[in-house]
Structure 1
């Protein structure tokens, strides 16, 4: 979404009836203006908004369907595009570049999950050439984000009965196969960086010539890496990671962090709206509390609800936006940070009984009730619930979209795990 200049907050629609696949459309302020000097392409992708005359919706190319319960299920793409590290990529373009190489007889490119369960590119080829040489050749014609993280040589491509490549039968790549011949760090900073990369990227050993992005890195993991580096007393300009994606190349640009620390005292009081927040309240939606995002975490060995509450309270103190409330005063909605007080958030604990199918129904019903209980005027905008089952505990974290987005979740969950373990 960021790559096509959308707003952070938007409405997602599938105009088809429940159970019938349709194309996802996005409505919201801040949409891209269109394709420059290509009015026909603009008309194809930016269609009139049937709910608000004069405004436009964007056809995403994603196939989805509603369930009877109002859940939106992602089915895939209309085309062969995938989203890697925030970039929309047409897989056939990579396949075409591989087939341009004389040594490649056949090629197919698909997506796989890396060690942190993020999508990454993998290419399967029939060739006599070394895969590292193929990767170097692709670097001359494709941007880094389109170069497959793994190129796997096969004797033949598995085929389905109707003559298409059987993607499910392709072998899983060796997640650590992208590492170059190991070379140990040469000083304390390189040693620190190797340790941070191993942790962030989920690999067992990183050498100073390993490529950050070929090991499954992306811009969000880069932010996490830079944050941990800063905590250790060093700093790096994030854009340099894209220019110098190995530790050996990056080392000359790492500097000692300034010893001055920013004021970390709690923020309180009224804050002006961002444009997209203003748009949200101008729409006057009937179910404003349901503009939330949620995750469900599983803990097979159980959770201590007292610690969960303590951790969430500390996160709400540290991340001031999580204490936002939106009361109506003198006929207008205002945005205000709640004061730090006892019992900032309560954790509901529910014992879930019965057969597995019954447990699933109970959890879905209770999860909807938790999300519906968010009060914008009174807060908190963070709603947790622990579901105890025979398979362990499940922690639901529902947070209103006014104060969190897809990028924030990674930081929030990393902080949550670190505090809980401590």
Structure 2
């Protein structure tokens, strides 16, 4: 912000400081030192704002501007922020609604209205302020590209204000949507003759999948029951209905036919490289037990026993299927579903999508209609993006520069936590605090994730005593293809997020975090294993941050 201000002719120095107005709203104030001390102190404020709008996201635009003869300095020659005068009420007026006029503005506005499900979007609106996020940005990019405009998700993060985004993409070469990968296009020629006859596609295993499979197999083979939950996911879902098992079986079969990843096996050996094989069909792993004849206590004991067995049953990644579902009927109005899958198949968002699709398919079967589900890109497209990122030497250099001179800071594990036992601590925020956090994010024009990540970095600074910190940051790497937000697979990646936590206020820290997220977003397809190799490190962090907004799943049917 300060650098952008000093690039303007007539300004020799600038500092931007957060402040709180009488209503409790947090804003930014700019203090400017003119090059010519005899110039008019109130000149060209509008020009300054227009300049900043071209170079900075909206949340970084100050709302007040004051000219000073000189900035107050401390004995070390640094700006003494506490000595700055209170911001003058030279408020930059909030811009009224202005309709899109150019082709790019209209295309973007239409895309935002469709994806965000809102009626009106103006050129001064902010994507994230309207409810946008990284998943929804994929749909926006896809819709804008359909009009022949050049755009990617990184552009939307860098220019979240519609007017600025339109100006950005008008300068770019129009680009089509990313290419859908042909069958077997990523499979080495030498391996194609080794494939079983029922395989309809084959492609490399992702680096994260490789790691999960290795640790899953090695820890399970150790014989410790405690470790069998690692990358072995079991979900229990209580339903206030009795499942029609025939209709449910049909819905599950249709779900499996829609998504290649549910018909996939993993082979670390036997081919020139580790491969995942997509099979034409699988035997549905569906089982059903009627527990309605037991009382509530006995039902709970049997459900707990089934859950324990599901947790400890080993999955062989070479054998299909790598998921299963068991339906327990409890009464004419209640049942419980147990879903099991190897984590190498699905990330958390994909599990949510899976349950939503299964609900829609089941209800459609009950109502004897076609399910309202769009075709989605298959997981192979993510693998193609990762392979391309690995082959690009510029990505390797980015991480070498980004992590230069970085030091590994470790947090000691609590005494009561053993290395072979996972422990979770749950803390709930009340509604008032949650609303306050959401309001803070809205005021700063950042995502709630950035606010939470800022708190995470502050905690790390408190407990490590360090300012230059690295944490693991979970990002999704879904390809920029139409409907990829509804694809199933393991799209998540954990990348090192580096930040110097030296800001003097929460507002400055949150803004710095948001900028830092944008910096590494374009690297989301480059795997952590490649970063470690490029930097000659064995570890960069022993803690990570994962932010996940849980959605309320539609129960089946919708009227229950």
Give me the TM-score of the superposition, normalised by structure 1.
0.45
More helix by share: 2
Whose relative contact order is higher, 1 or 2, with alpha carbons under 8 Å and at least 6 apart?
Answer: 2
Give me the TM-score of the superposition, normalised by structure 2.
0.36
More strand by share: 1
